[in-house]
Amino acid sequence: MAETALDYLKIAASRGSKLGLERTFQLMERLGSPQESLPVIHIAGTNGKGSFGAMLSSVLRCAGYKVGGFSSPALTGITDSFRINGQEISPRLLEEILEQIIPHAEEMSDKPTEFEVLTAAAYQLFRQEGCDIAVVECGMGGDGDSTNVLSSPLLSVITNVQLDHAGFLGNSVAEIAVHKAGIIKPGRPVLFGGNHPDALRIVREKAAAEGSPLTVTDLSRLTVDSFSPDGTDLSFAGMGSFHIGLLGTYQPLNAANVLTAVELLRSEGLTITDQALREGLAQARWHGRFEVLRKDPLVIFDGSHNPDGIACAADSIRLYFGEKPVVLLIGVMADKDYGLYGEMLRGLAKCAFTVKPDNPRALDSQALAESLTEKGIPAQAFSDLGEGVRKAFGFAKKNGLPLIALGSLYMYRELTEALPE
């Protein structure tokens, strides 16, 4: 048996990943269905979920609401997945919540997995702490994701649909879109922020079948006025001008989705003033998305972990650094189309240092190095992530070049710990 409530998560993790929502529904019923106790904004999508959630949570917080947030994977520790008004909860509070859940989980004949327990903990936390609203991200997919146990979300959001999780969700955008569209619920509004025609068709068909009003973000309303390392200035027709502190060429698209979501939430009866909207977007912070970790040398981490994300990261590198080459530190999961990355990043990097994130699905660093080298990016592999980080940092500092860390969010904690002060 587990010595502490947090230790129990290791036991749950040993059960692996299982398909189906039956266990989560059963666990929720035993807890009194906490997921139905407050308005929830439910977010699916290939990319942008975290940034969208962080910006929208910040806006709602500035509007005076008590906001719960649940996201995955955790970057620095398990409590990082749970936030109240933007602040990570304490280990003690998580233990308290888990102590309420574990007896129910252990009484189940088909015991829940780690993510199912964490999902239950999130909804139980938000009810216990008296949150006015919750912003909840899907872990993977949508229809079969543990978070998808809501009967009537305040708003369902699909940020976009791209190829990702090959072999798990499907081998085409349309197949993947079917899973993402599974969060659409009867009669409840849905926002789609993507632009892929196959995905839009699937989402539109699902929304029509469920009688759910569909809004598609109109990017013709978006104008980007300036990019800088301090953030981005943009305007959105009908709503005004805004500053966002999050970096990356893709963040204006995420902001456009947030602004459209705010319009929908206002129509649902939420009070969100223009001042709260501006303050919330300007104050929003989110780890791991073109985040500046050090200034000398400049170290940026971007959790781009699939082809679409890497392409966006490459655009951001061009935008901020122009012709100046960068040093890459990169580690990815084996289920990604990593063979495409070298082509996308070629011409931007002087060299690359490859590492293996701490995850069973991680790609061997040597295989990644060989793939990049074949595409013209000299790459050196490291079996020890910490050593790779220190070598890459030293090389960047010696040569006066920016160090851009790309890839899995699973390497964020170890990377930040290994960076020299």
Cβ atoms of 220 and 244 closer than 8 Å: no
Cβ atoms of 293 and 418 closer than 8 Å: no
89 and 110 together in one domain: yes
CA distances from 207 to 156, 187, 218 (A): 11, 9, 18
| Greatest Cα-to-Cα distance within the chain, rounded to the nearest angstrom | 61
Q: How far apart are alpha carbons 51 and 237 in whole angstroms?
A: 21
109 and 159 together in one domain: yes
At residue 73 the predicted structure's pLDDT band, cuts being 50, 70 and 90, is: confident
**Beta bridge mates, 134:** 40, 68
273 and 302 together in one domain: no
Question: What CATH number corresponds to the domain at position 298?
Answer: 3.90.190.20
What tokens does 181 get? 């569209």
Cβ atoms of 369 and 265 closer than 8 Å: no
DSSP-assigned letter for residue 406? E
Question: What CATH number corresponds to the domain at position 157?
Answer: 3.40.1190.10
Residue 28 in this model has a pLDDT that exceeds 70: yes
Residue 2 in this model has a pLDDT that exceeds 70: no
The DSSP code sequence of 184-252 is: --TT--EEE----HHHHHHHHHHHHHHT--EEE--GGGEEEEEEETTEEEEEETTTEEEEE---STTHH
Question: How many structural domains is the chain composed of?
Answer: 2
Q: How far apart are alpha carbons 119 and 133 in whole angstroms?
A: 16
Over residues 293-324, the pLDDT tens digits come to 998 899 999 988 788 888 989 999 999 999 89
Over residues 181-211, the pLDDT tens digits come to 999 999 999 999 999 999 999 999 999 999 9
Residue 52 in this model has a pLDDT that exceeds 90: yes
Q: Of the residues 263, 283, 303, which one is the last residue of a structural domain?
A: 283
377 and 401 together in one domain: yes
The pLDDT value recorded for residue 409 is 85
CA distances from 98 to 38, 249, 267 (A): 20, 39, 36
44 and 150 together in one domain: yes
Q: Of the residues 283, 318, 336, which one is the last residue of a structural domain?
A: 283
The pLDDT value recorded for residue 164 is 62
332 and 411 together in one domain: yes
Angle between helices 197-210 and 173-180 (to 10 degrees): 30
168 and 185 together in one domain: yes
The range of the structural domain enclosing residue 228 comes to: 5-283
The pLDDT value recorded for residue 45 is 94
274 and 345 together in one domain: no
